[in-house]
Amino acid sequence: MEEIPVKVAVRIRPLLSKEVLHNHQVCVRLVPNTQQIIIGKDRVFTFDFVFGKNSTQEEVYTVCIKPLLVSLTEGYNATVFAYGQTGSGKTYTIGGGHIASVAEDEKGIIPRAIQELFQHISENHKIDFHVKVSYIEVYKEELRDLLELETSVKELHIREDEKGNTGRISRFCSCHGLGIISATNFFFCVSFFSFLN
Ligand SMILES: Nc1ncnc2c1ncn2[C@@H]1O[C@H](COP(=O)(O)OP(=O)(O)OP(=O)(O)O)[C@@H](O)[C@H]1O
């Protein structure tokens, strides 16, 4: 059977202290030893991967993202797209918050992927690598360069070439589904080029 190139993972986050304080109840359960969750009493949904409330950042990275990094170093493109309602854990999982101050085991996808990419580079002395990074906030219709805050929002555009390519690119984005407002979207992009020297 042909492999489907899009995989969907669901991650259940634990209740926050304030939710416990307000006596909120968990309404999602994992079905043990399956890739299924139950919402409410009996609504069952199946995904490619499911992660429970005790899942670690490392587990999510190893299962879902590590294989993409391997493909990336072999010349394939990969996209990771986090979606869910506000407060559901997109930023936490992607690791796009205060990356520098986060404890090692709390680090999300972006720092782990970057670490692995540079590990690969340091182990391949016969290849020249060229890595470009962009980190862009998408708020309503405007783009803001998070690495160059002085850049005018009007000067930023995401473009494709005439063949529809954006290059050999891996995109990591945390995004908001269903037009939920009052939060941040960001678009993190690593372009990774390698040349045999
Ligand atoms: N797996 C998890 N384990 C522990 N805490 C989590 C987990 N996922 C999310 N949280 C916590 O839940 C809160 C909301 O998560 P987060 O900010 O990542 O949501 P979000 O989907 O990015 O929200 P928004 O759309 O409003 O930006 C944060 O305090 C975060 O630290």
Taking 80 as the threshold, does the pLDDT of residue 158 lie above it?
no
Residue 95 Cα to ligand 1 middle (Å): 10
Amino acid at 109: I
CA of 172 to the centre of ligand 1 (A): 17
Domain residue spans of the chain? 1-52, 56-196
pLDDT of residue 47: 95
**3-state DSSP helix/strand/coil % of the chain, to nearest 5:** 25, 30, 45
ipTM score for this prediction:
0.99
CATH 3.40.1030.10 fits 56-196, yes or no: no
Q: Which two tokens stand for residue 148?
A: 């160059």
Surface-to-core class of residue 28, CB atoms within 10 Å of its CB (0-12 exposed, 13-18 middle, 19+ buried):
middle
* pLDDT band, residue 189 (cuts 50/70/90): low
Residue 184 — pLDDT band, cuts 50, 70, 90?
very low
Q: Tens digit of pLDDT for each residue in 17-26?
A: 999 999 999 9
Does 101 belong to an annotated binding site? no
Query: Whose C-alpha lies nearest to ligand 1, atom 24?
Result: 86
